[in-house]
Amino acid sequence: MHYTDQRKSIDRRSQGYSRLHTLLDARQHTLKLYADLARHRPFSDSQNLYRELVAFSQAVVDYTASAHFQLYQKLTDGTENREAVKLIGDRLYPRIVRSTQKILAFSDDFGDNPAPNFDHLEARLSEVGEVLAERIELEDQLLEALRCDRRAVSV
């Protein structure tokens, strides 16, 4: 392998790690805000709750967008070349899309709404927590496929 080919490979790998860390940081930040928001139970209309609700809604939307650009982009635009990654991505991606739709609906109802209905917040927050848990599980499966593929290539 030539020096320039090695350098390109290292640069691609470095970019991949950077994207992964961006995704995991966004995930961690979102989960922290979710926990902060859940501490307000029982929910009652207050400025502090509203601010945290907006912050969480923005973070969860940013996280889902980050996941798309950091993890799923090659799957959706058809440029993923690794067969094992494509297979697991094809299996998981429809479920990821459904979770994204539920997250966006939550954000529309609570984060982007200047007068959210706090009567439904308990149930909806619980639902979005379950959606996040499933989404993280799915993402971790895809990340594991990526990690295993990298190991197989480097051996």
Whether the pLDDT of residue 146 is over 90: the answer is no
Whether the pLDDT of residue 8 is over 80: the answer is no
Specify the pLDDT at position 7. 53
Whether the pLDDT of residue 36 is over 80: the answer is yes
73 is in which domain, residue-wise? 15-154
User: Which long-range contacts (C-beta less than 8 Å, at least 24 apart) are formed by 119-126?
Assistant: 121/43, 121/53, 122/41, 122/42, 122/43, 125/34, 125/37, 125/38
Q: Has residue 91 been placed in a domain? A: yes
Q: Has residue 1 been placed in a domain? A: no
Q: Has residue 5 been placed in a domain? A: no
User: Which long-range contacts (C-beta less than 8 Å, at least 24 apart) are formed by 145-149?
Assistant: 145/84, 145/85, 145/88, 145/89, 146/82, 146/85, 148/84, 149/82, 149/84, 149/85
Q: Has residue 99 been placed in a domain? A: yes
Number of domains present in the structure of the chain:
1
Between 35 and 154, name the one with better pLDDT: 35
* Amino acid in position 4: T
Q: Which pLDDT tens digit goes with each residue over 55-111?
A: 999 999 999 998 888 788 888 888 888 888 889 989 999 999 999 999 999 999 998
Say if residues 111 and 58 touch (Cβ distance below 8 Å).
yes
Whether the pLDDT of residue 48 is over 60: the answer is yes
Q: Has residue 8 been placed in a domain? A: no
pTM (2 d.p.): 0.82
Q: Has residue 3 been placed in a domain? A: no
Q: Has residue 4 been placed in a domain? A: no
Q: Has residue 9 been placed in a domain? A: no
Residue 22 maps to which CATH number?
1.20.120.1370
